[in-house]
Amino acid sequence: MSPMPALQIQADPQREALEWFSRLRQPGGDERLHQAFSAWCQEPDNARAYAELEAYWQRLQPPPARPRPRQVKARRSRAGTWLAVLFLLVLAGLAYLYWPLAQRLGSELHTASGERRSLRLADGSTLHLDSASAMNVDLRGRTRLLQLVQGQVYLEVMLDGRAMEVQVDAARIQVFGTRLMIARHAGHDELVVLKGKAMVIQGGEQRMVSAGERVTFTDTRIDPVQKIDAKAADAWRSGHLLAKDTPLGEVLERLAGYLGRRVWLMDEQTAYRRVSGDFNLDRPAESLERLANDQRLQLHDVLGHWLIVR
């Protein structure tokens, strides 16, 4: 009997590739191991089997996470914060300065600082507007409606069988006479009746004012009725401010208003001093200088908008 031929073990590239894959990923592999692996890969079937295994392994791996964009926290410097605050203050100051002008220009009838003007309305009534004054007029309804937005107006009413009402902020003035003045001041509004009567209505309160009387009112109250000097009250239409025991603050406000300035008193008590005199409204700068000398005041013009009084 002839001897059986020896069994030859056939190479299995896939199995050997798996073994090499495992061995190469173990720590401690030396140079001889890598040289043996290179020699094994010289066989094309082995190299192909290992390449297929490597590709399959890569497909099994999760995709690498995308790096998150770095969050850069903006740190505001103190200088930036102060600049922002300064910008807001400047913006608020400009709005405070120019809001009255914007209100006037947005009204139907208005005058510039230092200008006085008379206007005849469609119903025959006449409006005499003081410096820096503004009004809206609506004569279409059964009640003629007027609104004093700023400044002062002398109103000569033409009676045509219809009622007339003047709106002053939240207050209403029902007109029963033919000649009256209405003014808006810094701290209050004022009604002066020269002929006939008028009634001020503010919330649930009302006050009847007759010829030769005046009344002041605010958003919250109506003051008692007082007697007036008709000549002094009407003097502004001829370019004069007749002050008789008048608070200094009101006189400064009127004269500065003709120059387009707003008054800032460094000492509030100064506003309550009582002054008398005849001041020329057509020359307000000279009148202010004379008043300042008499009262020992210092006037400082700031940017053409403010008049600081010390």
User: In this predicted structure, what is the pLDDT of residue 1?
Assistant: 42
Look at strands 179-184 and 134-138 and give their pairing.
unpaired
* Six-digit token string for 28: 């401690």
User: In this predicted structure, what is the pLDDT of residue 63?
Assistant: 61
pLDDT band at 280 (very low <50, low <70, confident <90, very high): very high
The whole domain housing 125 covers: 109-229
User: In this predicted structure, what is the pLDDT of residue 99?
Assistant: 63
Question: What CA–CA distance (Å, rounded) separates 101 from 152?
Answer: 15
Is it the case that residue 9 has pLDDT exceeding 60?
Answer: no
User: In this predicted structure, what is the pLDDT of residue 106?
Assistant: 87
Q: Which of residues 183, 202, 229 is at a domain's end?
A: 229
User: In this predicted structure, what is the pLDDT of residue 72?
Assistant: 47
- Strand, helix or coil for residue 235: helix
> Is 225 inside a domain boundary?
yes
Is it the case that residue 301 has pLDDT exceeding 80?
Answer: yes
How many CB atoms sit inside 10 A of residue 235's CB? 17
User: Does one domain contain both 149 and 202?
Assistant: yes
Q: Residue 169 region, left (φ>0) first, then alpha (ψ -120 to 50), else beta?
A: left
Q: pLDDT for 104-162, tens place per residue?
A: 788 999 999 999 999 999 999 999 999 999 999 999 999 999 999 999 999 999 999 99
Q: Residue 219 region, left (φ>0) first, then alpha (ψ -120 to 50), else beta?
A: alpha
Specify burial of residue 252 (Cβ count, 10 A radius: 0-12, 13-18, 19+): buried
What's this model's pTM, rounded to 2 decimal places?
Answer: 0.68
Question: What CA–CA distance (Å, rounded) separates 282 from 38?
Answer: 109
Q: Which of residues 163, 196, 229 is at a domain's end?
A: 229
Question: What CA–CA distance (Å, rounded) separates 94 from 155?
Answer: 33
Q: pLDDT for 163-210, tens place per residue?
A: 999 999 999 999 998 999 999 988 899 999 999 999 999 988 999 999
User: Does one domain contain both 276 and 299?
Assistant: yes
Q: Which of residues 205, 229, 253 is at a domain's end?
A: 229
Domain count, the chain: 2
> Which CATH number characterizes residue 289's domain?
3.55.50.30
Question: What CA–CA distance (Å, rounded) separates 174 from 163?
Answer: 8
Q: pLDDT for 50-68, tens place per residue?
A: 787 777 667 655 666 555 5
User: Does one domain contain both 183 and 258?
Assistant: no
The per-residue pLDDT of the chain, averaged, comes to 85
DSSP class per residue in 145-156? EEEEEESEEEEE
Indicate the helix (H) or strand (E) that contains 209.
strand 205-210
Sheet of strand 205-210: strand arrangement: 109-110, 134-138, 143-150, 163-168, 171-175, 197-202, 205-210
pLDDT band at 76 (very low <50, low <70, confident <90, very high): low
User: Does one domain contain both 269 and 191?
Assistant: no
Phi, psi of 202 (to 5 degrees): -135, 105
Percent of the chain with pLDDT over 70: 84
User: Does one domain contain both 225 and 258?
Assistant: no
How many CB atoms sit inside 10 A of residue 271's CB? 18
